[in-house]
Structure 1
């Protein structure tokens, strides 16, 4: 994260080329996460980098306190809104309509994971079932894979 004269500038690059639609959540996430990790902003996704208070108590010379703007809030908001924009630009209009009104990164990310986590989990279960029921000739997938692994181990020994 770069900062010039108080402005926060993130180098996230272009949003994922694969826009988020129903059925491609894992692909979309796999394309977007490296940029988010590289910019060190994943704390905005999971809430560990939460917004600092907008205002703070400031002690005066006469030992009274006043309320003033928190200098940490502006840069945090700039960073959050850049990541929010990056994510929103990677959504297809159909998905965008479902998350309209999410005004910070954490709320958007939570909504997206809620929308798509159950779909992804059921796809994983269906793939596991399909693999378990796959046969090669008269061998189940487990037997076939075990034989392949055994053959590959033997081949590695011979080649050395």
Structure 2
């Protein structure tokens, strides 16, 4: 194994022991945008995003000789690539709820797992966005303190933004003001702009 491959392997192994510190949200049927918001930066920070976006392809398993004929010598680049791909796959699997993991358990590469997850759960995101927008429109203060109510509304708005469907700030303030009344106008203005 080359020194750069050994260095890459040690970085992967060292960082995998702390992966639970970075992957706090497990993917379930309802939180694909939130889950994606944590897994993509993690992979990008370790130069591993190419394993899920398809831009990194597996090298040939065996080396070729000077005449271009396959030899029986295993390609070290192939072994390194497989190791990194399986590391990414294990991180993906670690970040899935048991229900979701059971749907991709037969996937053998990070890319096929990612494609399967996107196909299955990103398509549900549209329905989830509609549900979140409806929840936001119907959220009332009830017995909540003003701070707790604003946190609840902001959490829904943030989830919509992560889903790629941000809610207009003016509309958000109007919804809040309709539920809390004019005596909280200053509080609402300061909290919703943060």
TM-score (norm 1): 0.70
Please point out which of 125, 136, 148 is paired with 1:120.
Answer: 125
Deviation at 1:65, TM superposition (A): 4.1
Please point out which of 33, 39, 48 is paired with 2:40.
Answer: 33
Q: Corresponding residue for 2:108?
A: 103
More helix by share: 2
Extract unaligned runs of 5+ from structure 2: 140-169, 176-194
Please point out which of 90, 100, 103 is paired with 1:85.
Answer: 90
Q: Aligned runs of 1:15-30 on 2, under 5 Å?
A: 15=20, 16-30=23-37
SS at match of 2:58: coil
Asked if the contact 2:88–2:110 (Cα under 8 Å) also holds between the matched residues in 1, the reply is: yes
Q: Corresponding residue for 1:4?
A: 6
The number of aligned residues is: 141
Cα shift readout 1:38-78 (whole Å, capped 9, x = no counterpart):
0011100111011111123112xxx6845232221011111
- What's the C-alpha RMSD, in Å, of the aligned pairs? 3.3
More strand by share: 1
Instruction: List structure 1 runs of 4+ shifted beyond 6 angstroms.
Output: 129-134
SS at match of 1:72: helix
TM-score (norm 2): 0.59
Structure-1 separation of matches of 2:60 and 2:121: 31
Deviation at 1:27, TM superposition (A): 1.2
